[in-house]
Amino acid sequence: MLEKIKKAIDDLYPEMVKTRRYLHQHPELSFQETETAKFIASFYKTLGISYQENIGGYGVVATLNGGKPGKTIALRADFDALPIQEENEVPYKSTVDGVMHACGHDGHTAQLLALAKAVRPFQEELPGTIVFLHQHAEEYAPGGAKPMIEAGVLDDVDAVFGTHLWATTPFGVLQTSKSAFMAGADRFEIIIQGKGGHGGYPHETNDALVIGSQLVTQLQQIVSRRIDPLKTAVITVGQLEAGSAFNIIADKAKLVGTVRYLDAAIQEQIIAEIENMIKGVCMACGATYTFHYDKGYPPVINHPEEATLILEIGKQMEEVVSSDEVVPVMAGEDFAYYMLERPGAFFFTGAQKESNPYPHHHPKFDFDERAMPIAAKILITAYFKYQEQG
């Protein structure tokens, strides 16, 4: 039966591409995915697979109960887009100004829908139950995974698997880890309050822009000099906003950034070190500050047995070029919340497009669509293999 389902997935490739390109042309931002959710629900209605809408927000959950006893396994795909103006000149270019599928979530949705269609004719022969988790709002914390879990999507689930089409990994390469796979991702904001004034009279002011610039540099010393070199951490200041004119000294500066980590103890150390650094710089410069820190998604920590299962599947599939255990990446993913609740694994399906070298979240991002059926076949194979485990 598995081989027949894989054949059906290959046969559905043209439809998969059509779906992906439709979604690419009609992207919606996190927590605003009303039409995308309706599209997904309509697809399951046409298939005759039972589904629920508006789960934890705009989440859609479809359930296919097999005709034979077995485990309940969830397969997850996300479907939100990003606030990016697309720069690709392709027939399926985004039609929404300032919004783009720049991370592959359109492909994730297309491959899971095609998988559902491929499996549907075999329902009576199917062991166990497949739960198709279509999750909204992965890109923007607090994300869609947590409210969907709180709404009960994992209540009867034995394991959960997910994949990300990874455009910086060569086509057909499977990558995962048996432990930490993706980083925890937090956000912080710092407001420096100085004293503004005339650009020609700096001695009468307290330049918030200069203080903010010092702080950008000083924060980098936390990782280089305060964190154990054998631990992994990143502190990035992505925004520094200050000033209104070339001859006015700024009275206020805002710094916004992100912290990435794999170890919760390192996260807590970094929070304390950042505030100590802000306090020290501001005290030395005679400024005041406010510091706000948002703990975002925790790290994606795969379960060893389930990750090993994925790696073994990759080694046995001829479409997979290689199946590799890799070191963690410092991007974040709210799939982490599923891993805190149930056994499972998250993996990358290599989807690098030779003619398009641009990374995720870039205005020219794209991926090799031939990776979609590979991802779908790995997911359904994981479903069957997990059924066989004791």
DSSP-based helix, strand, coil % in the chain, nearest 5: 35, 30, 35
Of 80, 86, 158, 251, the catalytic one is 80
Of 138, 207, 251, 333, the catalytic one is 138
Cα 78 from Cα 165, distance rounded (Å): 11
- Per-residue tokens: 332: 């974040």
Cα 153 from Cα 132, distance rounded (Å): 10
Is 80 a known active-site residue? yes
Q: In 3-state terms, what secondary structure has residue 232?
A: coil
Nearest residue to 113 via CA among 15, 238, 184 = 15
State the number of CA atoms in the 13 A half-sphere of 303 facing the CB.
18
Nearest residue to 86 via CA among 168, 19, 24, 17 = 24
* Residue positions forming the annotated binding site: 103, 105, 139, 164, 361
| φ/ψ (deg, to 5) at 188 | -135, 155
- Per-residue tokens: 240: 């520094």
Beta strands in the chain (DSSP E): 50-55, 59-65, 68-78, 127-135, 159-166, 173-176, 180-182, 184-193, 197-198, 233-242, 248-249, 252-261, 288-297, 300-301, 322-325, 344-350
Q: Is 29 left (phi over 0), alpha (psi -120 to 50) or beta?
A: beta
| C-beta neighbour count of 89 within 10 angstroms | 7
Q: Is 98 left (phi over 0), alpha (psi -120 to 50) or beta?
A: left
Whether 313 contacts 347, CB under 8 Å: no
* Residue positions forming the annotated binding site for Mn(2+): 103, 105, 139, 164, 361
Whether 386 contacts 71, CB under 8 Å: yes
Which residues belong to the active site? 80, 138
